[in-house]
Amino acid sequence: MTIAYVRVSTNKQETDSQKIEIERYCLCHDIKIDKMLSVEISSTKSQEKRKITELKDMLNSGDTLITTELSRLGRDMLEILHFILELDKKGVKIIFIRQMILSNGESSSKLILAIYAYIAEEERKLIVMRTKAGLEKARERGKKLGRPFNALNSYYDKDIKKIKSLLKQNIGGSFISKCKF
């Protein structure tokens, strides 16, 4: 079985470009995709939410996992390496389209794999730093961050009377947030 894994980290990004890249690769290499697992969630979320656990469970000896690049599989070097080593032990072939040197399965590629995983982790740290710096500069210029008050309807607007009633009864916000209205 061949499974393609596509993940984007923000709702501003689209999985389409990764899907097209994988489909073109498979067409050129005469590979049939049996399942395309598409996830639109940040890499900071749990493996379950990113469907990594589901992906591990679906793959067996002789199967192939195709993804565009190493960074799609995890948020840090150890997590990525652990995932790849687990699949390697199961006998799963992994193809990284943009980093074909990692796809050959040779022992020399393990060192290169570790380097790429480290680079992916560092790039993520840089993105976080740049984002925080940009937000800080915006604050210094007097820009108010976040959603303007009452600009959009809140998810809880329909329940506001119930929420206010519970707050008046000295029921904590943490408990209220877990209530299903």
| Given the residues 9, 43, 61, 174, the one annotated as active site | 9
Which pLDDT band holds residue 164 (cuts at 50, 70, 90)?
A: confident
Which of 24-28, 38-42, 162-166 ranks highest by mean pLDDT?
24-28
pLDDT at 33: 94
Which pLDDT band holds residue 141 (cuts at 50, 70, 90)?
A: very high
| Cβ atoms < 10 Å from Cβ of 26 | 18
Q: Per-residue pLDDT averaged across 9-32, rounded?
A: 82
pLDDT at 45: 56
Distance CA 99, CA 25 (A): 13
Distance CA 6, CA 14 (A): 10
If you average pLDDT over every residue of the chain, what do you get? 82
pLDDT at 105: 62
CATH code of domain 2-106: 3.40.50.1390
* Domain range annotation of the chain: 2-106, 117-169
Which pLDDT band holds residue 52 (cuts at 50, 70, 90)?
A: confident
Q: Please state, for a pLDDT cut of 90, what percent of the chain lies above it.
A: 24
Nearest in space to 87 (alpha carbons), one of 111, 68, 103, 76:
103
109 annotated active-site:
no
pLDDT digits (tens, 9 = 90+) for 72-119: 887 777 888 888 888 888 999 999 998 876 665 665 577 777 888 888
